[in-house]
């Protein structure tokens, strides 16, 4: 990842978070299967429910640029320990990147890696929508 470590890059991305209410910043770097990188930071709204997480910002940027095959998403927050994606982000990642690897960093630059499927077992998937019997 460029000439700096993923951890250093994540710190730069996290610093761009727009989190005036929670002060809880999160940065994410999404890597496609072809090696392209898309970054995301959490962006808060004064109407809190409209806030969007760093993970979904990165994913939506990539999707809007036509990317559809993803390898890895790395995440660093202001939390002392590893910060796993929220339920909404897990679901959206499952919709578009079910085989992605989720890499969580803590403040010391240590990392843990999870397959998304381990973070969202028995997930609701697009295939389940298609499994509904046809109603006449
Ligand atoms: Zn989230």
Q: Kind and range of the H or E element at 25?
A: none
Annotated domain spans of the chain: 6-129
- What CATH number does the domain located at 6-129 have? 3.40.140.10
Q: How far away, in angstroms, is 74 Cα from ligand 1 center?
A: 13
Residue 1: per-residue pLDDT: 41
Query: pLDDT below 50 — which residues of the chain?
Result: 1-2
Q: What tokens does 1 get?
A: 């990842």
Cα 58 to middle of ligand 1, angstroms: 11
pLDDT at residue 126, rounded to an integer:
83
Confirm whether pTM is higher than 0.95. Answer: no
Separation of CA 2 and ligand 1 centre (Å): 26
Whole-number Å distance between alpha carbons of 128 and 66: 24
- Residue 102 to residue 30: CA distance in whole angstroms: 9
* Backbone torsions φ then ψ of 88, nearest 5 degrees: -60, -45
pLDDT in the model for residue 127: 85
């Amino acid at each position: 990842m460029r000439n700096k470590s993923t951890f250093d890059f994540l710190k730069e991305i996290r610093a761009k978070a727009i989190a005036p209410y929670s002060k809880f910043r999160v940065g994410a770097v999404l890597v496609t299967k072809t090696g392209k990188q898309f970054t995301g930071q959490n962006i808060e709204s004064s109407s809190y429910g409209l806030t969007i997480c760093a993970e979904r910002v990165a994913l939506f940027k990539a999707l809007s640029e036509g990317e559809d095959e993803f390898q890895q998403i790395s995440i660093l927050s202001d939390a002392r320990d590893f910060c796993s994606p929220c339920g909404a982000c897990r679901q959206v990642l499952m919709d578009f990147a079910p085989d992605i690897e989720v890499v969580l960093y803590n403040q010391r630059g240590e990392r843990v890696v999870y397959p998304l499927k381990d973070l969202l077992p028995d997930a609701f998937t697009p295939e389940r929508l298609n499994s509904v019997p046809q109603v006449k």
